[in-house]
Amino acid sequence: MKKRIVVSLMLIVALSLTACGTGKSSANKDVLNQVSLLQGLTFGDYNGSVTAATLKEKGDIGIGTFDALNGELIMLDGVIYRAAYDGSVQKVADSETIPFANVTFFEEDSKMSLNNIASVEALKEQLNGKVKEIGDNRFYMVKIEGTFNKMQVRSELPQTQPYKPLAKVLETDQTVFNYDNIKGTIVGLYCPNYMDKLNAKGWHFHFISDDKTKGGHILELAFDSANASIDRTDEFAMILPDNDMFNNFDLSVDQSSDIKKVETGEEK
Ligand SMILES: [Zn+2]
C-alpha cells in the first residue's frame, strides 16, 4: 500500500516536471500581471501594494510607477529602475512598493523592423499593423532597442497625502526631459480594446537609456530605424490593492478622458 503511494507520488512529480519542460504556457511565463487598475491610479491611489521583490517573481519586463507616484517604473532584464522627477535613474530596493504596474516574462514570439518613425503616433501605427496581423485581441509586450534621434520623456514629483487625481498632479508636478541621439530601450505594452475599464487600450511606452542614467514615460520620439521584439501574452492576472482609498472608489465613473490626458498629455 505504502509502496503504491510512493510510486504514484513519483509519477505525479515526473508528470509535473515534464509539463514544466513542454513550453512557456505551462511554465506560466505567458501571463501579463497587473497591479491594481489604471483607473485606481488615475483617481489618485498611489499607495504601494506590491513590493518590488514580489513584482520580480511575476515578470522580468514591464512598466508602472511607485508608492506616492515617486517616478516612472521600467523593468528590464529582471531589474526594476526608477526614472525620477529630476531626470535621474536608480535601481530600486526590493522593499519598495508599487501601486500600479504591468509585468510579464519576456519571450520573443515575433519581430519586426521599424523605419522612419517621426512621432509616437507613427510608432503606434507601424506596431498596430503588426498587431493586426498577429491578433489585436491579445496582449503584447514589446522591446525596441535602438538609437533615438529624439526622445521626450516625463516623470513626476512624489506626492503627499491626501493624493490628488493623476491628471491634476500632472498639471503642476510633471517634469519633461528631451534627449537627442540617445541609445536605449523602449518597453511597450499593448492592451486590446476591451481593456479600457482596467487599463488603457492600445500602447503605453517607457524608455531607459543603455547606460541606465535616463528614462521615463514616453511623450514623443523619433528615430530612423530600430528592431522591435514582440512577446505575445495570452493570460492576464490582476492583483488588487487592499486599502480604504481603493475599496471606496466608484469605479463605474468613466475616466477615459483623464486617462487619455495622463497617457499622452493631450486633452482628448
Ligand atoms: Zn507611463
59-73 average pLDDT score: 98
Architecture of domain 31-263: 2-Layer Sandwich (3.30)
| Lowest-pLDDT range of 92-106, 182-196, 221-235, 240-254 | 240-254
pLDDT for position 14 = 46
| Alpha carbon of 120 to ligand 1 centroid (Å) | 13
Mean pLDDT, range 91-113, rounded to an integer: 98
What's the longest Cα–Cα distance across the chain? Answer: 72
CA-to-CA distance for 53 and 57, rounded, in angstroms?
Answer: 7
CA of 171 to the centre of ligand 1 (A): 15
Question: What is the band of 266 on the pLDDT scale with cuts at 50, 70, 90?
Answer: low
**pLDDT, average across residues 85-101:** 98
CA–CA dist 29, 103 (Å, integer): 10
Place 268 in a pLDDT band, splitting at 50, 70 and 90.
very low
pLDDT recorded at residue 20: 44
Give the tens place of pLDDT for each residue, 2-53.
555 555 545 444 444 444 444 444 447 899 999 999 999 999 999 999 999 9
Residue pair 82/70 in contact by the 8 Å Cβ criterion:
yes
How much is the mean pLDDT over the chain? 90
Ligand 1 center from residue 40 Cα (angstroms): 14
Q: Whole-angstrom Cα distance, residue 230 to residue 110?
A: 5
- For the chain, helix, strand, coil in percent to 5 are 30, 40, 30
Distance 110 CA to ligand 1 centre (A): 24
CA atoms of 228 and 29, how far apart (whole Å): 20
The answer to whether residues 187 and 203 touch, using CB atoms and an 8 Å cutoff, is: no
Q: DSSP letter for 160, please.
A: -
| Percentage of the chain modeled with pLDDT above 70 | 88
Ligand 1 centroid distance, CA of 109 (Å): 24
- In angstroms, what is the span from residue 64 Cα to ligand 1's centroid? 6
Q: Which helix (H) or strand (E) holds 150?
A: strand 139-156
- As given in the structure block, the three cell numbers for residue 230 are 514582440
**For residues 167 and 181, what is the distance between their CA atoms, to the nearest angstrom?**
30
DSSP letter at 94 equals: T
The answer to whether 241 touches 142, Cβ cutoff 8 Å, is: no
**How much distance in Å is there from the Cα of 166 to the middle of ligand 1?**
12
Q: How far is the CA of 244 from the centre of ligand 1 (A)?
A: 24
Residue 8 has a pLDDT of 53
Q: What is the pLDDT of residue 17?
A: 45
In the reported structure, the alpha carbon of residue 73 is separated from the centroid of ligand 1 by a whole-number distance in angstroms of 8
Cα(66) to ligand 1 centroid in Å equals 11
Whole-Å CA distances, 29 to 25, 167, 265: 6, 33, 33
- Flag whether pLDDT at 153 surpasses 50: yes
Of 245 and 13, more confident:
245
Give the SS3 label for residue 87.
Answer: coil
Amino acid identity of residue 184, one-letter, is G
When pLDDT is averaged across residues 189-216 and rounded to a whole number, the result is 96
The CA distances from residue 185 to 30, 221, 250, in Å, are 21, 12, 37
Task: Locate the domains of the chain by residue range.
Answer: 31-263
Cα–ligand 1 centroid distance for 188 (angstroms) = 10
